Amino acid sequence: MSKILIVYCSMSGNTKAAAEVIADGAKTAGAQVTIKESTTAKPEDLLMCDAVAFGSYDAFSYMGGGLKDFFDRVFYPTQGQITDKPYAAFLTHGGGGKAIQSIESIAQTFKLKKVAEAVLIKGKPEGKALAELKALGAKIAATDGK
Protein backbone atom coordinates (compact mmCIF):
# COMPACT_ATOMS: atom_id res chain seq x y z
CA MET A 1 0.00 0.00 0.00
CA SER A 2 1.54 3.31 -1.00
CA LYS A 3 1.84 6.10 1.58
CA ILE A 4 0.59 9.41 0.26
CA LEU A 5 1.26 12.76 1.91
CA ILE A 6 -0.96 15.74 1.11
CA VAL A 7 0.43 19.09 2.26
CA TYR A 8 -1.72 22.15 1.75
CA CYS A 9 -2.27 25.72 2.91
CA SER A 10 -5.66 27.37 2.90
CA MET A 11 -6.97 30.73 4.13
CA SER A 12 -10.71 30.37 3.61
CA GLY A 13 -11.20 26.63 3.06
CA ASN A 14 -11.21 26.10 -0.72
CA THR A 15 -7.79 24.45 -0.86
CA LYS A 16 -8.49 22.46 2.29
CA ALA A 17 -11.64 21.11 0.63
CA ALA A 18 -9.62 20.25 -2.50
CA ALA A 19 -7.04 18.42 -0.38
CA GLU A 20 -9.79 16.36 1.25
CA VAL A 21 -11.21 15.31 -2.13
CA ILE A 22 -7.73 14.25 -3.31
CA ALA A 23 -7.36 12.26 -0.08
CA ASP A 24 -10.68 10.52 -0.82
CA GLY A 25 -9.52 9.64 -4.33
CA ALA A 26 -6.21 8.25 -3.06
CA LYS A 27 -7.89 6.22 -0.30
CA THR A 28 -10.42 4.78 -2.73
CA ALA A 29 -7.48 3.71 -4.88
CA GLY A 30 -6.04 1.86 -1.90
CA ALA A 31 -3.43 4.28 -0.56
CA GLN A 32 -2.70 5.16 3.03
CA VAL A 33 -3.13 8.94 3.24
CA THR A 34 -1.68 11.54 5.61
CA ILE A 35 -3.13 14.99 5.14
CA LYS A 36 -1.34 17.93 6.78
CA GLU A 37 -1.84 21.66 6.92
CA SER A 38 1.52 23.00 5.73
CA THR A 39 2.59 24.77 8.92
CA THR A 40 2.25 21.51 10.87
CA ALA A 41 4.00 19.27 8.31
CA LYS A 42 7.55 18.19 9.11
CA PRO A 43 10.58 16.99 7.12
CA GLU A 44 9.91 13.42 8.32
CA ASP A 45 6.48 13.52 6.67
CA LEU A 46 8.13 14.16 3.33
CA LEU A 47 10.89 11.63 3.92
CA MET A 48 8.50 8.85 4.87
CA CYS A 49 5.87 9.11 2.14
CA ASP A 50 6.00 7.31 -1.23
CA ALA A 51 4.41 10.24 -3.07
CA VAL A 52 3.25 13.74 -2.21
CA ALA A 53 0.65 16.27 -3.32
CA PHE A 54 1.25 19.98 -2.65
CA GLY A 55 -1.70 22.36 -2.57
CA SER A 56 -2.10 26.07 -2.14
CA TYR A 57 -4.32 29.01 -2.89
CA ASP A 58 -3.03 31.63 -5.30
CA ALA A 59 -1.68 34.59 -3.33
CA PHE A 60 -0.59 37.46 -5.58
CA SER A 61 0.43 34.95 -8.27
CA TYR A 62 2.58 33.02 -5.80
CA MET A 63 1.87 30.11 -3.46
CA GLY A 64 0.45 30.90 -0.03
CA GLY A 65 2.92 31.69 2.73
CA GLY A 66 2.14 28.51 4.66
CA LEU A 67 3.28 26.26 1.84
CA LYS A 68 6.36 28.40 1.21
CA ASP A 69 7.17 28.10 4.92
CA PHE A 70 6.95 24.31 4.59
CA PHE A 71 9.32 24.24 1.61
CA ASP A 72 11.77 26.55 3.39
CA ARG A 73 11.78 24.42 6.56
CA VAL A 74 12.16 21.04 4.90
CA PHE A 75 14.66 21.84 2.13
CA TYR A 76 17.95 21.15 3.93
CA PRO A 77 16.64 18.34 6.17
CA THR A 78 15.45 16.37 3.11
CA GLN A 79 18.07 17.40 0.55
CA GLY A 80 19.45 14.46 -1.41
CA GLN A 81 16.97 12.04 0.19
CA ILE A 82 13.85 12.60 -1.89
CA THR A 83 15.25 12.71 -5.42
CA ASP A 84 12.65 11.43 -7.93
CA LYS A 85 9.94 11.07 -5.31
CA PRO A 86 6.62 11.34 -7.20
CA TYR A 87 4.62 14.51 -6.69
CA ALA A 88 1.70 16.47 -8.09
CA ALA A 89 0.40 19.94 -7.32
CA PHE A 90 -3.02 21.53 -6.99
CA LEU A 91 -4.15 25.11 -6.66
CA THR A 92 -7.30 27.06 -6.02
CA HIS A 93 -7.45 30.60 -7.32
CA GLY A 94 -9.73 33.54 -7.98
CA GLY A 95 -9.35 33.59 -11.75
CA GLY A 96 -5.56 33.80 -12.15
CA GLY A 97 -3.69 30.63 -11.30
CA LYS A 98 -0.12 31.75 -12.00
CA ALA A 99 0.92 30.62 -8.53
CA ILE A 100 1.12 27.04 -9.79
CA GLN A 101 4.43 27.94 -11.44
CA SER A 102 5.98 28.78 -8.07
CA ILE A 103 5.06 25.34 -6.69
CA GLU A 104 6.27 23.47 -9.79
CA SER A 105 9.51 25.42 -9.76
CA ILE A 106 10.28 24.60 -6.12
CA ALA A 107 9.36 20.94 -6.69
CA GLN A 108 11.96 20.91 -9.48
CA THR A 109 14.56 22.38 -7.14
CA PHE A 110 13.75 19.57 -4.70
CA LYS A 111 14.36 17.15 -7.63
CA LEU A 112 10.92 15.59 -7.23
CA LYS A 113 9.32 13.76 -10.16
CA LYS A 114 6.06 15.15 -11.51
CA VAL A 115 3.60 12.28 -12.06
CA ALA A 116 0.48 14.22 -12.98
CA GLU A 117 -0.49 17.56 -14.44
CA ALA A 118 -1.47 20.07 -11.78
CA VAL A 119 -5.16 20.58 -11.09
CA LEU A 120 -6.27 24.22 -10.96
CA ILE A 121 -9.66 25.09 -9.52
CA LYS A 122 -11.38 28.46 -9.52
CA GLY A 123 -12.83 29.04 -6.07
CA LYS A 124 -14.54 26.28 -4.14
CA PRO A 125 -14.17 22.79 -5.65
CA GLU A 126 -17.48 21.57 -7.03
CA GLY A 127 -18.94 19.79 -10.06
CA LYS A 128 -16.31 18.71 -12.58
CA ALA A 129 -13.50 19.86 -10.28
CA LEU A 130 -14.39 17.17 -7.75
CA ALA A 131 -13.87 14.43 -10.36
CA GLU A 132 -10.54 16.00 -11.41
CA LEU A 133 -9.32 16.09 -7.82
CA LYS A 134 -10.40 12.50 -7.14
CA ALA A 135 -8.61 11.39 -10.30
CA LEU A 136 -5.48 13.22 -9.14
CA GLY A 137 -5.62 11.35 -5.83
CA ALA A 138 -5.97 8.04 -7.67
CA LYS A 139 -3.06 8.87 -9.98
CA ILE A 140 -0.74 9.69 -7.09
CA ALA A 141 -1.88 6.55 -5.27
CA ALA A 142 -0.97 4.48 -8.32
CA THR A 143 2.72 5.46 -8.09
CA ASP A 144 5.01 3.00 -6.41
CA GLY A 145 7.39 5.52 -4.86
CA LYS A 146 9.70 5.57 -7.89
Ligand X SMILES: Cc1cc2nc3c(=O)[nH]c(=O)nc-3n(C[C@H](O)[C@H](O)[C@H](O)COP(=O)(O)O)c2cc1C
Binding site for ligand X (CB under 6 A): 10-16, 57-61, 92-97, 123
- Signed CA dihedral, 53, 1, 17, 139: sign only: positive
**Closer residue to ligand X, CB minimum distance, 13 or 145:** 13
- Alpha helices (runs of H) in 2-142, residue ranges in sequence order: 14-28, 43-48, 65-78, 100-109, 128-141
**Closer residue to ligand X, CB minimum distance, 80 or 95:** 95
Within 8 A by CB and 6+ apart from 52, the residues are 4, 5, 6, 7, 46, 85, 86, 87, 112, 140
Least CB distance to ligand X at residue 15 (A): 3
**Closer residue to ligand X, CB minimum distance, 14 or 78:** 14
Least CB distance to ligand X at residue 66 (A): 10
Residue nearest ligand X by beta-carbon distance: 96
In the 8-state DSSP scheme, what is residue 79? T
**Closer residue to ligand X, CB minimum distance, 104 or 115:** 104
Least CB distance to ligand X at residue 84 (A): 29
Please give the Cα distance from 32 to 49 (Å, whole number).
9
Least CB distance to ligand X at residue 98 (A): 7
In the 8-state DSSP scheme, what is residue 50? S
